[in-house]
Structure 1
């Protein structure tokens, strides 16, 4: 559990910089922010040690032949704690939460693609878990907002500072990214385009370490993968350049003054789907949104400072979009897991067995 901390102006500028590039050297951030490098490093390590902020490496499921699902589970009240603890400890789940009311859970699940039975074993097992009354799974067809970071944590730097950081990052990456496709010593055959990529066990170990710590030292990653440090650098650059890997700042929005988290399910007319998706990508309260299968074709996570702000968003911004026929909302009561792997054990309580 994260400590009760409100980020100050420098913390927010640091988070913004890391959202632009999670592995940018602290020296580059310090040069743009106008503070000593040791101050930037100390701030990040303090926040990470307190479980307030961390950088995580995330993989695009579609590029590795996997599927993402948003899953809602109705369960018996005495099974909630045990089930949510089990789900949070799984490597294939993220964004695990209890919804207001206490007997509904929500999470994101990654399963093998349709050629490998599309995750049916997971859903069959979950449905048979004691205490589970019903579940609904919607496949994520395309994320449309929030992949590059929630706007609430990317508003601390001015445009010139953003541009300078991007320019410095491009200079740092220039030599590494040259010849990014087709180098045999990198251990794989990544291809350009939007289809799945080929990779091996070393890649799995690499992204596993980056999921736990997106700023892991290259020497540590070299030991984990068995590659040289130069190959690790090239491989990370290649995974990023081909859209397989990106870095996210994992931080509770409460630290940005937005403690109210709501989940939205929108039934959208097909003709308006593109317009709604594009508009949501520009709405400041939207932390994440995706087009999904199921009756509600759009799912979104929204962050607000209070319930009044949530009402204003629903009534004044969302209601004006064409094609929305029905909307369902639910408040998140508590989170047990966000984007990255669980680092603090959650002891299962109550009844129920492993999902």
Structure 2
């Protein structure tokens, strides 16, 4: 389901070697219980020009979750996570219309009760966005030959690729990414073939992201880490392209400040993270150092609130 959140239960059963009945029952249980959420959202750029900013937030003592809860309610927040280290929360803001509109957004967000300090950095270029990190469970080792792995660059789109009907279809699939075309068609007063055709056109044009959200711990991946990797200026692009080939690098982007790469790494446990740092990252030509924050709780990813966080932490009142 991470590879294709809308794959049929039969196709998934064929892939995992199970029966259709068993796969259907278990898959539906995972979704109903909130362990898994599938959603479809318009690709970046679907609403016009934008700039993205990586934000690091320090909160007043005891206010981390209250601040995070208010942040994820903002439609401009693409991801939000509570972390260890010098900061309490890290998030990505997608500013529609570009950086000139950022001050307007800041006025609202920096005024959230509990925010003590706010630092932001422009994300200049995204090298990789991957929701298929689970393949590490099936034999792709940390020390594997990464030369054969092609990085997965993010999807982009433009507003003129959509009309009102397309956006209504995606709005329905945002709530349930596995909803049938027939039920969507019934809700919108369209015919099933038209809904299917429109969706397949958007997907072929890379105008839709299908996300399968699942907590890493549920699949035995216990260490999620955000790293800011400092790189010699002349080696920034080369180091990024090398890092993007690692399957456990889930997100990778170049930031404006400090000749740095923002790198999200997911590994089974801390020993594997240590191996990656000592045997791979530290040996890359051009890497000058890094800082890192362990992710404690992910509340939002890909503009979609994760379904499990409220069960782990009581919402603020």
Query: What is the TM-score normalised by the length of structure 1?
Result: 0.74
2:4 maps to which of 21, 24, 28:
21
Aligned residue for 2:190, secondary structure, equals: coil
Residue 162 of structure 1: aligned partner:
none
Which residue does 1:349 correspond to in 2?
Answer: 316
Which of 21, 25, 47 is the aligned partner of 1:64? 47
- Equivalent of 1:90, from 74, 78, 81? 74
Q: Deviations over 1:232-291 (max 9, x none)?
A: 111211111111112222111112222111110122233212221211122233122122
Greater share of strand residues, 1 or 2?
Answer: 2
Report Cα offsets for 1:312-331 as digits up to 9, x if no partner.
Answer: 21121101112222311111
Secondary structure, aligned partner of 1:139: strand
String of CA shifts for 1:174-228, please: whole Å, max 9, x gaps. Answer: xxxxxxxxxxxxxxxxxxx966232344333322322232111112322454433
What are the ranges of 5 or more consecutive residues in structure 2 without an aligned counterpart? 141-154
Cα displacement (A) at 1:36: 2.3
Separation in structure 1 between the aligned mates of residue 101 and residue 190 of structure 2, nearest angstrom: 32
Taking structure 1 as reference, are residues 345 and 222 closer, same or farther at Cα in structure 2, changes over 3 Å only?
farther
Question: Which position in structure 1 is the counterpart of 2:114?
Answer: 131
1:142-291 pair list within 5 angstroms = 142-147=125-130, 149-150=132-133, 152-153=134-135, 156=138, 196-198=158-160, 199-291=162-254
Measure how far apart 1:335 and its partner are.
Answer: 2.4
Q: What is the 5 A alignment of 1:305-344? A: 305-339=268-302, 340-343=304-307
1:122 aligned onto 2:105: yes
Q: CA deviation at 1:44?
A: 0.6
Bigger shift: residues 244-253 or 95-104? 95-104
Distance 2:260 2:43 in 1: 20
SS in 1 for 2:297: strand
1:139 deviates by 3.3
Aligned to 1:76: 60
- Structure 1 vs Structure 2 CA RMSD: 2.8
In structure 1, how many angstroms separate the alpha carbons of the residues matched to 2:102 and 2:217? 33
**What's the offset of the Cα at 1:101?**
5.0
8 Å contact from structure 2 (residues 66, 114) kept in 1: no
Q: CA deviation at 1:112?
A: 0.6
Greater share of residues in helix: 1
Q: Cα gap change, 1:301/1:156 in structure 2, threshold over 3 Å: closer, same or farther? A: same
Structure 1 Cα separation of the partners of residues 289 and 213 of structure 2 = 31
Contact 1:206/1:224, CA 8 A, preserved across alignment: no
Q: How many residues align?
A: 297
Contact 2:36 2:307 in 1 (8 A): no
TM-score by length of 2: 0.82
Corresponding residue for residue 45 of structure 1: 28
- Aligned 8 A contact 1:267 1:327 in 2: yes
Equivalent in the alignment of 2:152: none
Give the Cα separation in 2 of the matches to 1:99 and 1:32: 35
